[in-house]
Structure 1
Amino acid sequence: MSISPQEFRHILGHYPTGVCVVTAVQEDGKRIGMAVGSFTSVSLNPPLVAFFPDKGSSSWPKIEKTGKFCVNVLADDQEWVCRRFASKAEDKFEDISHRLSDDGQPIIDDVVAWIDCSLHQVHEAGDHFIVLGEVNAMSTERDVHPLLFLRGGYGQFMPALEKQ
């Protein structure tokens, strides 16, 4: 059975994903980042996380070269931040308030949480890479709902207990 890319995307689009921005700083001090909708925890011991950049990404090779990165979990009011980092803008950090982690990676202000990582491993997987990061530091920033992507659109999660 052959599965078309359109069918695959349509069916898997029924599964919500969180939205993150992966950031880093190049040797020349230039801040770089990319939006990702495929982020997950992998291991508790050692603490590992993963995300899956497209092989055609122009940002991923720059981040990979730094050997470290910070995952910024976007809040439901930060769709504009996602769109900025998903763009081909020359300076994706323009008008983006942020600070640097102790390891020197950009933490975007007002995110739900951030996870500062060292690059652990990269594996090829079809038209994407599987990037494993070893967690060095992490924290929550705001107790708000995360930004989600579902069926081609952005939204938020409302736990059943909060609906009552």
Structure 2
Amino acid sequence: MTKPDKSRSEHLSAEFADMFLQPATAHSQQVREVFNSIPTAVAALCAVVDGEPRGIVATSLAVGVSYDPPMVSFSAQTSSTTWPYLRRAGRIGLSILSDEQIDECRQIASKAGSRFADLETMPTERGGLLVKRAAAWLECSISAVVAAGDHEVVLLQVEGVDMRPGSEPLIHHRAGFRNLAAMADV
């Protein structure tokens, strides 16, 4: 058994000496700043329910939750008036919005006006609704819903996928929209 490297542990202690964790208080500025500092893709989750298009925007998408079977997840606010409709849908069209779709994102997320007026969409055979010109599309069915504070975590089984080659996803970061910059491999 080797002895711990004392100089390494002293270095780590010094490195973290200035770090001080703030209490994670609900809706605090500190929590919002930390959550918003993590870049996420922007997804439109849409379906035709009772003959009407319904949709929400989520920045809480987690892909690759499972590969067998393929699954993703997102979180829906319990205060959402649209999520209860989508929850009843047989299939949900999940569109990873492209970096060209800031206006479409704002339109689907809007609480005023028609979320789908002049919006180019593609219905799926089973009721999902996909947004045209998105970076990627997934047709999903709800596998499970778990209560999580003021949200519900929704586990989706992916039933179909496609992507638009050459497009880049719209990114939500620091309470604003970004696109991916060219990066060197590391």
User: In the alignment, residue 39 of structure 1 is paired with which amino acid?
Assistant: L
Matched, 1:29 2:51: yes
Q: 1: CA distance between counterparts of 2:51 and 2:165? A: 28
Count of paired positions? 161
Q: 2: CA distance between counterparts of 1:51 and 1:88? A: 20
- Output the aligned Cα RMSD: 1.5
Query: Which of 23, 32, 36 does residue 2 from structure 1 map onto?
Result: 23
Identical columns (%): 30
User: In the alignment, residue 78 of structure 2 is paired with which amino acid?
Assistant: K
Q: CA deviation at 1:3?
A: 2.0
TM-score using structure 2 length: 0.82
1:54-73 residue CA offsets vs partner (Å, 9 max, x unmatched) = 11111111100124211100
1:112-151 alignment to 2 at 5 Å? 112-151=135-174
Q: RCO higher in 1 or 2 (8 Å CA, sep ≥ 6)?
A: 1
1:4-58 residue CA offsets vs partner (Å, 9 max, x unmatched) = 32211111211111101000111x2101000110101210011111010111111
Equivalent position of 1:99 in the other structure: 122
Q: CA deviation at 1:90?
A: 4.5
Q: 1: CA distance between counterparts of 2:166 and 2:157? A: 24
**1:160 aligned counterpart, secondary structure:** coil
Q: 2: CA distance between counterparts of 1:55 and 1:155? A: 27
1:65-122 residue CA offsets vs partner (Å, 9 max, x unmatched) = 1242111000001011110111113431111011112323111110001100111100
Q: 2: CA distance between counterparts of 1:49 and 1:86? A: 21
Name the stretch that deviates more: 115-124 or 99-108. 99-108
Q: Kindly name which structure, 1 or 2, has the bigger radius of gyration based on alpha carbons.
A: 2
User: In the alignment, residue 89 of structure 2 is paired with which amino acid?
Assistant: T
Equivalent position of 2:92 in the other structure: 69
Matched, 1:47 2:66: no
User: In the alignment, residue 105 of structure 1 is paired with which amino acid?
Assistant: G
Equivalent position of 2:17 in the other structure: none
Q: CA deviation at 1:160?
A: 1.0
Equivalent position of 2:41 in the other structure: 18
Q: 2: CA distance between counterparts of 1:126 and 1:134? A: 23
User: In the alignment, residue 18 of structure 1 is paired with which amino acid?
Assistant: A
Is the 8 Å Cα contact of residues 91 and 127 (structure 2) preserved in structure 1?
no
Equivalent position of 2:104 in the other structure: 81
Matched, 1:56 2:79: yes
Is the 8 Å Cα contact of residues 145 and 158 (structure 1) preserved in structure 2?
no
Q: CA deviation at 1:142?
A: 4.1
Unaligned runs of 5+ in 2: 1-21
Is the 8 Å Cα contact of residues 89 and 127 (structure 2) preserved in structure 1?
no
Please identify runs of 4+ aligned residues in structure 1 that moved more than 3 A: none
User: In the alignment, residue 96 of structure 1 is paired with which amino acid?
Assistant: L
